[in-house]
Structure 1
Amino acid sequence: MVLVSKFNFNERHRRSQHPLKRLIEYSRQYRHQIWLASLYSVLNKIFDLAPPALIGIAVDVVVEQQNSIIARWGIQDIYAQFIILSILTVIVWILESVFEYALAKQWRNLAQTIQHDLRLDAYQHLQELELAYFEDRSTGGLMSILSDDINQLERFLDIGANDLIQVTTTVIIIAGAFFIMAPSVAWMAMLPMPFILWGSVAFQRLLAPRYVDVREKVGFLNSRLANNLSGMMTIKSFVAEDYEAIRVTEESEAYCQSNRRAIALSAAFVPLIRMIILVGFTALLLYGGLAAVEGRITVGTYSVLVFLIQRLLWPLTRLGETFDQYQRAMASTSRVMNLLDTPIEIHTGDVALPVETVRGEIELHNVTFAYNGRHPIIENLSLYVPAGKTIAIVGSTGSGKSTLVKLLLRLYEVQSGNITLDGIELRNLRFNDLRRAIGLVSQDVFLFHGTVAENIAYGSFEATPAEIIHAATIAEAHEFIMQLPQGYDTIVGERGQKLSGGQRQRIAIARAILKNPPILILDEATSAVDNETEAAIQRSLEKITVNRTTIAIAHRLSTVRNADCIYVMEYGKLVEKGTHEQLIAQQGIYASLWRVQSGLVVASD
């Protein structure tokens, strides 16, 4: 309990940190590239600010001639002075261009690297989270984080980070130049700086919650779109196009309104900055000009100061756009980092159990499980599955049959009791060893967008074409596959939508056959197919269940009547067990279900 409290405290502490600090912590591995990119940005800005100084020197040569700054270096000839000035100009422009290329390449490559690694880290972390996490969240919302939020961060690193560094460099260099060249008027030009910095911080604080709301709204919108695209058949069959269009419009309008609230504030930043800078620029123009006329500063120095204050003006007016990018990026960073900080509730064990050594003996000891603190769906369940035998689990909907599958795969963790495989508790086994030992064929078959061959070989990626065809033949799928337009190279579509339910089911069985696991779980594998397809599936299952531990979860009792043992579940508890004949003789729940399904009992009006 102390460890849990400490972990929760650490998690809350991380989530309370500023997103920029969390991003810096994540980016430690890229610090060399960041320092290099930052150096290029600074050097580029230094050489970018050099031309005003060269203009001031040129003015000084024209006005002072033999008394100019270059003349003090020992070069009295005017022509030679301009030659020196021209050479310096060429060098400055070349170096400015070189570092412009270097910073653009370095920052863009860095942005690509970080967004690539961050997306992979976030996705891999998602894969390690338990199923309960996904049941509480929408696919569209998670897609928004993995795609849109990370892309938002990439856009800031691509442009915004360089802009912030260069604005900071500009302020430091110009402030230093002012105080060195004309300390008597420098304070006038620098007077607006504290107000600009204060205003920038204030705007950040006001913008931050607005952009957090923007990211949330785009998550809701993506969730709605993803849900509707996957459910298009249902939408069309219920003539709900107008209804769904209205719901998408509402989500999109909420996103637009959220953006408008942020834009209303961020758009005011640049005009306000301009007004503040105007004060310093006007003061310099007036008092600097008077100082030049009175001889307190040279004409060249005055020229440099006027040019420099202009060079300071434009970067500061772009600061509003940069801060806008920054706040959007920080809102996105917060969502991505919150995902990365989500604790993994179910951890892999450290006991190895190579698949070739698995016998397949499974035992549940007083297992209790509930979803998210709800009433237990399985309670004090004890069940034994002998190695190499076929057992069936039957019962009404909601009795906990399919939940057992998730517990056996450790997709969820039991609240109490334990489950063992070959005498080893599942908690102690490595995930890979446990799940490689189990082949699952469920009612809800998921096929990936790709070819038939790729879907059969999923999880057995090194399989040869001959092995794929052999597995499909045993599953009685080869014949219909060969009738497809491109045979095994036919694209099945997203979720296998180009195939019928029976075809998808047989491909799923072929996939399990190719995996050749010591334990086979059939979760309502024939409940959604026609009689002919069911007969074909039953023939293939009879072949692959020989000398293999098989757990068949079924609603149709006819498909499991030949099982070595049948367990009957009701409300998460084991109420009957035995062979088909034994259970019929008991005249209990199983016998009642059998009579109904076999047509021996007709419900009265």
Structure 2
Amino acid sequence: MKVLLDLRWFFSERKKQYSIGITALMIVALLQLAPPKIIGFIVDAVAKDELTAEMLTRWMIILAVAGILMYVLRYIWRVMIFGSSVYLARVMRERLFTHFTRMSPSFYQRRRVGDLMAHATNDINAVQQTAGSGILTLFDSISTGGFVILMMAFSISWKLTLIALLPIPVMIILTSYYGRLLRNRFRVAQEAFSDLNDKAQESISGIKVLKTFGQQEEDVESFTKRSEQVVKENMRVAKVDALFDPTIAGIFAISYVLSFYFGTRFILSGELSIGDLVAFTSYLGLLTWPMLAIGFLFNIVERGNASYSRIQDLLSIEPGIQDRPNAVSQLPHGDIVFDIDTFKFPDDKRASLRNLHFTIKQGETLGVIGKTGSGKTAILKLLMREFEGYSGTITYGGIPITRYKKECLRQAIGYVPQDHFLFSTTLGENIAFTNPKIDPEKIVAAAKSAHIHEDILTFEEGYETMVGERGVSLSGGQRQRVSIARALLMDPELLLLDDSLSAVDARTEEAILRSLKEERTGKTTIITSHRLSAIQHAHQIIVLDEGEVVEIGDHESLIAQNGIYKEMYDLQQLESIVEQGGGADE
């Protein structure tokens, strides 16, 4: 029952609805006591030959009124209790979703998307059942069972009632044991479902790669194994679940046998009438549901307990990056100074950045070049405060970025990542993502600056074209340019392009860079790239090698240094000549 105590906050919030629902439930439980007693009176009247038409009519009217009242009250408690449980599901989903948006990238590095989705679906459904069917079975079993037992004891025979209830403690002990087994097995089953969910999400997202490499059969086999594991774990749950009903029904059968045996003896001794025994057995029938409800209650509550603890474990994780006390709430502007001795990504033993010391003047463009894994993206992620824990400082406008509120810092930054994520909506809405109500003319202007406008016009529906999930209907270069347009629409103080021109041709790249230079006067830009053509116009260029700055300067001065930058430049020039079909002497 721990989960019911953990949900006190919700029951308190919805106390009006639950109070009405539980009250209606208890009144129904009282009204259910009338039919067996009335039947008992009628049987005795028939046995004594005292039943009249007037008496029968009166009892039938009472039964009809009780039936109508129970109909209305059952509708009320269903709306109040089940309606509240649906509301709980909404609250829990909102909490989870809000929590997900607050989490740092390190959180998503350690957790799979499918697992998080399982928390937001199966686990929340199990908790919802606890707040709905769980509360119903709890109070229905207590009220109906309690009232029926009292009616049996005080209006018929307390001795027969005590005899009939003798097997009940055995049932309680067994169902409690089943409940503990069920909780443990259900948690394992939920984890297996999370694994399957993640596999499905990953396979669907990577279907093009699977088909390209002809790995469909292997992937289906892998999915089948996970699916079989889910079935196996749920069968283990079902085997425990299946024990409840037979156990309760078997013990209740013993109660019936005891009731008939001793009830008959009491009739023979004159302690009971035939009508009393008929009424008693009818009440015993009413008691069947409360006893079964105890089994259902253990089932529902233990499932909810396992799921709620999984959700709470997730919600208890604090964001890795949080605002400091008295954080600065202004948008940053000014020079950016990197003064970092070392930085390691979480769970990474090797330092990703070392001895990083340079300054970016306001309004200048910084180019960052280096091999894959040299630390280019790490610089941008630190600047956006996606990661901390480095030795040293990064200041923006003379203030350490850790002192800015995250919201203010990120509002000043337009970021175009390597992985160009587009939402399953229209091209126009993707570009206007940060400001959905912005003037359409500004959307077009941003698209023109990113040199995607002409491409958009070739689509039949133009800016209203649906791009599909993750922009699947667009080419890599088109997705890059839509992402650039989205960032440019913000008109950010700082624009970060993380290898964001790799999928466009040289002419388009040159046009985009020219637009950036013309339209971002006085604003800072950082461009990381493998291609020197994307950064050679920059005011300052840093060359990274294994996380360290090995060369720094503008294009001309780096060429003159005759170092790594010059080697990369010569190599890319040669590659360009070869691609054009020329010779080295041309």
Normalised to the residue count of structure 1, the TM-score between the two structures is: 0.90
**Equivalent in the alignment of 2:220:** 245
**Equivalent in the alignment of 1:397:** 372
Q: Structure 2: how far apart are the matches of 1:341 and 1:525?
A: 36
- Given that 1:122 and 1:146 are in contact with CA atoms closer than 8 Å, whether structure 2 keeps it comes out as yes
Q: Structure 2: how far apart are the matches of 1:367 and 1:177?
A: 80
**Equivalent in the alignment of 1:561:** 536
Determine if the alignment matches structure 1 residue 385 to structure 2 residue 360.
yes
1:189-338 alignment, distance < 5 Å: 189-317=164-292, 319-338=294-313
Determine if the alignment matches structure 1 residue 516 to structure 2 residue 483.
no
Q: What one-letter code is carried by the residue in structure 2 that aligns with 1:95?
A: L
Q: What one-letter code is carried by the residue in structure 1 that aligns with 2:91?
A: D
The 3 A distance-change label for structure 1 pair 204 and 517 is: same
**Equivalent in the alignment of 2:21:** 37
**Equivalent in the alignment of 1:484:** 459
The 3 A distance-change label for structure 1 pair 87 and 149 is: same
Structure 1 residue 503, shift from structure 2 partner: 1.1
Q: Structure 2: how far apart are the matches of 1:360 and 1:299?
A: 96
- Given that 1:108 and 1:158 are in contact with CA atoms closer than 8 Å, whether structure 2 keeps it comes out as yes
Structure 1 residue 27, shift from structure 2 partner: 4.7
What is the SS of the residue equivalent to 1:267?
Answer: helix
Q: 1:152 aligns with which of 120, 126, 136?
A: 126
1:421-432 alignment, distance < 5 Å: 421-432=396-407
The 3 A distance-change label for structure 1 pair 466 and 379 is: same
Q: Structure 2: how far apart are the matches of 1:600 and 1:121?
A: 53
Q: Structure 1: how far apart are the matches of 2:452 and 2:296?
A: 59
**Equivalent in the alignment of 2:582:** none
Q: What one-letter code is carried by the residue in structure 2 that aligns with 1:588?
A: G
Q: Structure 1: how far apart are the matches of 2:353 and 2:3?
A: 42
Structure 1 residue 83, shift from structure 2 partner: 4.3
- Given that 2:142 and 2:290 are in contact with CA atoms closer than 8 Å, whether structure 1 keeps it comes out as no
The 3 A distance-change label for structure 1 pair 29 and 412 is: farther
Q: Deviations over 1:83-105 (max 9, x none)?
A: 44233222311221111101111
Q: Deviations over 1:82-140 (max 9, x none)?
A: 44423322231122111110111112211211001100101101111111110111111
Structure 1 residue 520, shift from structure 2 partner: 0.6
Structure 1 residue 39, shift from structure 2 partner: 2.5
Q: 1:98 aligns with which of 72, 76, 81?
A: 72
Structure 1 residue 156, shift from structure 2 partner: 4.2
Determine if the alignment matches structure 1 residue 441 to structure 2 residue 425.
no
Q: Structure 1: how far apart are the matches of 2:515 and 2:577?
A: 33
Q: Structure 1: how far apart are the matches of 2:401 and 2:20?
A: 49
Determine if the alignment matches structure 1 residue 185 to structure 2 residue 160.
yes
The 3 A distance-change label for structure 1 pair 367 and 129 is: farther
**Equivalent in the alignment of 2:583:** none
What is the SS of the residue equivalent to 1:598?
Answer: helix
Structure 1 residue 320, shift from structure 2 partner: 3.7
Q: Structure 2: how far apart are the matches of 1:539 and 1:599?
A: 24
Structure 1 residue 342, shift from structure 2 partner: 1.6
What is the SS of the residue equivalent to 1:223?
Answer: helix
The 3 A distance-change label for structure 1 pair 18 and 557 is: farther
Q: Deviations over 1:545-588 (max 9, x none)?
A: 32211111111112111211112222222222111111222222
Q: Deviations over 1:322-351 (max 9, x none)?
A: 533333333222222211112222112443
Q: What one-letter code is carried by the residue in structure 1 that aligns with 2:389?
A: V
Determine if the alignment matches structure 1 residue 583 to structure 2 residue 567.
no
Q: What one-letter code is carried by the residue in structure 2 that aligns with 1:505?
A: Q
- Given that 1:23 and 1:333 are in contact with CA atoms closer than 8 Å, whether structure 2 keeps it comes out as no
**Equivalent in the alignment of 2:144:** 170
- Given that 2:3 and 2:301 are in contact with CA atoms closer than 8 Å, whether structure 1 keeps it comes out as no
Structure 1 residue 599, shift from structure 2 partner: 2.2
Q: Structure 2: how far apart are the matches of 1:29 and 1:158?
A: 15
User: Larger deviation: 25-34 or 147-156?
Assistant: 25-34
Q: What one-letter code is carried by the residue in structure 2 that aligns with 1:530?
A: D
**Equivalent in the alignment of 1:123:** 97
**Equivalent in the alignment of 1:50:** 34
Q: Which runs of 5+ in 2 are unaligned?
A: 579-586
Q: Structure 1: how far apart are the matches of 2:506 and 2:449?
A: 19
User: Larger deviation: 488-497 or 333-342?
Assistant: 333-342
Determine if the alignment matches structure 1 residue 363 to structure 2 residue 337.
yes
**Equivalent in the alignment of 1:351:** 327
What is the SS of the residue equivalent to 1:599?
Answer: helix
Q: What one-letter code is carried by the residue in structure 1 that aligns with 2:14?
A: Y
Q: 2:568 aligns with which of 593, 597, 605?
A: 593
Q: What one-letter code is carried by the residue in structure 2 that aligns with 1:372?
A: P
Determine if the alignment matches structure 1 residue 134 to structure 2 residue 118.
no
Q: Deviations over 1:506-549 (max 9, x none)?
A: 11111112111111111101123333432343333333332211
Structure 1 residue 353, shift from structure 2 partner: 4.2
| Percent identity between the two aligned chains | 31
Q: Structure 2: how far apart are the matches of 1:384 and 1:511?
A: 27
Q: Structure 2: how far apart are the matches of 1:470 and 1:193?
A: 77
The 3 A distance-change label for structure 1 pair 601 and 478 is: closer
Structure 1 residue 319, shift from structure 2 partner: 4.4
Q: Structure 2: how far apart are the matches of 1:556 and 1:120?
A: 43
What is the SS of the residue equivalent to 1:413?
Answer: coil
Q: Structure 1: how far apart are the matches of 2:377 and 2:68?
A: 70
What is the SS of the residue equivalent to 2:151?
Answer: helix
Structure 1 residue 79, shift from structure 2 partner: 4.9
Q: Structure 2: how far apart are the matches of 1:399 and 1:258?
A: 45
Q: What one-letter code is carried by the residue in structure 1 that aligns with 2:99?
A: H
Normalised to the residue count of structure 2, the TM-score between the two structures is: 0.93
The 3 A distance-change label for structure 1 pair 27 and 233 is: farther
What is the SS of the residue equivalent to 1:592?
Answer: helix
Q: Structure 1: how far apart are the matches of 2:357 and 2:38?
A: 88
**Equivalent in the alignment of 2:517:** 542
**Equivalent in the alignment of 2:581:** none
Determine if the alignment matches structure 1 residue 496 to structure 2 residue 468.
no
- Given that 2:449 and 2:512 are in contact with CA atoms closer than 8 Å, whether structure 1 keeps it comes out as no
Spell out structure 1 runs of 4+ moving beyond 6 A. Answer: 600-603
Q: What one-letter code is carried by the residue in structure 1 that aligns with 2:115?
A: G
Q: 2:317 aligns with which of 342, 346, 358?
A: 342
Q: Deviations over 1:446-503 (max 9, x none)?
A: 1000000100000122212122112112222111111112110000001101011111
- Given that 1:448 and 1:496 are in contact with CA atoms closer than 8 Å, whether structure 2 keeps it comes out as yes
Q: Structure 2: how far apart are the matches of 1:111 and 1:585?
A: 71
What is the SS of the residue equivalent to 2:574?
Answer: coil
- Given that 1:114 and 1:154 are in contact with CA atoms closer than 8 Å, whether structure 2 keeps it comes out as yes
Structure 1 residue 197, shift from structure 2 partner: 1.4
Number of residue pairs aligned between Structure 1 and Structure 2: 575
- Given that 1:270 and 1:319 are in contact with CA atoms closer than 8 Å, whether structure 2 keeps it comes out as no
